[in-house]
Amino acid sequence: MNLSTNRKKIILIVILIFAISTIIFCYQKQQTKILRVGVFAGSNWNVPQGETYAIIDEVIQKFETEYPNVKVEYVSGIKKEDYAEWLAEQFIAGNEPDIFFLLSDDFNLYASMGALMDLSTFIEEDTDFNTEVYYPATFQYGQYEEKSFALPCESTLTFMFVNKTLLSNEGIAMPKNDWTWNDFLDICRKVTKDTNGDGIIDQFGYYDYSWHQAAISNDVTLFREDGRASYFADPRMEETIHFMMELRNIHQGYEVTPKDFDMGRVAFRPFTFAEYRTYKPYPWRIKKYTSFEWDCIKMPAGPSGGNISILNTLLVGMSSRTLNKMLAWEFMINICYDKSVQEMILKKSQALPVRRDVIMSAEAQEIFSWDSIENNAMTPKDISDTMDASIMPVKFKNYDSAMLYADNEIKKIINGTIPLNNSLNKLQKEINAFLQH
């Protein structure tokens, strides 16, 4: 009798435990939240990248360990060239991700249309978050009308590629990082020549250097921050145009091609740091440029400016319609702020981390010293200094249209199609009229 009673008690206890476990399991299942992330395959900087999802997968694994009731999902296989269209379609359908990577060309559009969450409150209330760890321009990159709508994840800068072999053959020393427009012009004049005596120039000073890059290095501000006025008539802009005309005349009308550059017949070409990181070390250096030695230095400084580069940054934003605001913010912090993740970007991507302490770390010094035999021009300190001095593109709704029109007109001035006299004043009036519509 007692045995039977005890047995019944044991069975009841087992049933009760099973029931409680089932209830707990079902409750937990009901409490599981899905956090959706928008991400594209490959590098943002148009260079080869092996482990496409290595960084995001590690961030997700770490995040899901910290938040067991959260499942982070993303759609794999979306190419960068298809990503903008895919993201737009998700927004139109009201099915956009909670958090998503933002291509720099798209930030203005999403910020101006109210699609991005204003992050100001999150930034102010998160006592563990300190914007000062970022380089100023990287953090400002995610701001629109003085409010933060995205956080920086990784960056790249423009440097000047130098064909060391060509310069050496001409008896010219490698320029220093503090070189100027005059140094640039002088070297371009010396190397531009007919090397085989057939009467045709076949060695050149530069390729793909733009008036906009020159203007940045001459401290030209093209637009007012609110996008309601332009400053193309600034004397420093006229200085820039004169410089670009002088530079163009050195090539005597010959249009330098990518093939000229690849064959080692060009001394200088602007290069992103992502390209530098990709093609400088083995094995990609063997596949890309084998006929000459090369390195990168800062951009040449204009008389009114400095050795300044344009900064490009990959951003991460949050949908203004997300129902998981705090979780989305925490995930953004993991991608864009966590030091260990920024160190992963340093190791596993071709980009630059946006945290100063990571770029200035001993590990960065080791990574950037690819070949101890070479005297690499770019050190972590050089990179850090350039990040500090870098300029981010101005952001306002009609920026792209205004710049497209300005670019077409300025190219006409530089190539002599229209005279410089009063052209910049006329351009400024036309752009201002467009901006104030």
Residue 94: which CATH number? Answer: 3.40.190.10
Which of 136, 111, 30, 49 minimizes the C-alpha distance to 386?
Answer: 136
Residues with Cβ within 8 Å of residue 72, at least 6 apart in sequence: 34, 35, 36, 37, 60, 63, 64, 331
- Scanning 280-422, the segments in alpha helix (DSSP H) are 284-288, 325-336, 339-348, 356-359, 362-368, 380-389, 399-414
pLDDT score recorded for residue 194: 94
What sign results for the dihedral spanned by CA atoms 355, 358, 359, 360? positive
pLDDT for res 276 = 84
For the segment 103-130, what is each residue's pLDDT rounded down to a tens digit? 888 998 899 899 999 999 999 999 999 9
Same-domain pairing of 218 and 335 = no
- For 320, the 3-state DSSP assignment is coil
Interval 344-354: pLDDT, tens: 999 888 899 99
Cis bond before residue 281 (omega within 30° of 0):
no
pLDDT for the residue 226 = 84
Residues 88-97, mean pLDDT to the nearest whole number: 96
Domain count of the chain? 2
CB distance 209 to 268 below 8 Å = yes
Query: Does residue 5 sit within a domain?
Result: no
Task: Classify residue 1: in a domain, yes or no.
Answer: no
Tokens of 112: 């101006």
Yes or no: say if 359 and 108 are a contact pair by the CB < 8 Å rule: no
**Contacts for 301 with CB less than 8 Å, ≥ 6 apart:** 178, 179, 180, 181, 217, 307, 308
Is the residue at 19 inside a domain?
Answer: yes
Q: Is 37 left (phi over 0), alpha (psi -120 to 50) or beta?
A: beta
Quick one: how far is CA 5 from the chain centroid?
73
Q: Residue 43 in contact with residue 273, Cβ under 8 Å?
A: no
CA distances from 305 to 161, 243, 245, 310 (A): 20, 13, 18, 13
Reply yes or no on whether the pLDDT at 437 is more than 90.
no
Mark whether 126 and 261 lie in a shared domain: no
CB crowding 235-269: b at 16 or more within 10 Å, else e? ebbbbbbebbeebbebbeeeebeeebbeebbbbbb
pLDDT, average across residues 272-285: 71
Write down the residue that tokens 């190419």 correspond to. Answer: 79
Whether 176 and 290 map to the same domain: the answer is yes
Same domain, 16 and 109: yes
pLDDT in tens, 187-245: 999 999 999 999 999 999 999 999 999 999 999 999 998 889 999 999 999 999 999 99
Amino acid (1-letter code) at residue 298: K
pLDDT confidence of residue 9: 59
Give residue 322's pLDDT: 97
Q: What is the pLDDT of residues 47-82, one digit of tens each?
A: 887 677 999 999 999 999 999 999 999 999 999 999
pLDDT beyond 50 at 180: yes
Question: Residue 311 pLDDT more than 60?
Answer: yes
* Mean pLDDT value across residues 258-279: 91
Percent of the chain topping pLDDT 90: 72
- Residues of the chain with pLDDT > 70, as a percent, come to 89
Are 99 and 181 contained in the same domain?
A: no
d(C-alpha 163, C-alpha 377), whole Å? 12
pLDDT surpassing 80 at residue 393: no
- Same domain, residue pair 129 and 226: no
Computed over every residue of the chain, the mean pLDDT equals 89
Helix (H) / strand (E) element for 34: namely strand 33-38
394-418 confidence digits (pLDDT tens): 777 788 899 999 999 999 999 999 9
Q: Which amino acid, one-letter code, is at 429?
A: K
If asked whether residues 254 and 190 sit together in one domain, one would say: yes
Q: Is the pLDDT of residue 372 over 50?
A: no
Decide if 284 is inside a domain.
yes
274 lies in some domain: yes
| One domain, residues 34 and 163 | no
Residue 31 CA from chain centroid, whole number: 37
Residues pairing with 318 in the sheet = 99
Range of the domain at 349: 12-156+312-368
For residue 325, being part of any structural domain is answered with yes
Q: Residue 345's pLDDT is what?
A: 93
User: Comparing 7-11, 91-95, 300-304, 376-380, which segment has the lowest mean pLDDT?
Assistant: 7-11
- Confidence tier at 16 by pLDDT (50, 70, 90): low
pLDDT-derived band at 1, boundaries 50, 70, 90? very low
DSSP class of residue 431?
H
Residues 6+ apart with CB under 8 A from 303: 180, 181, 218, 239
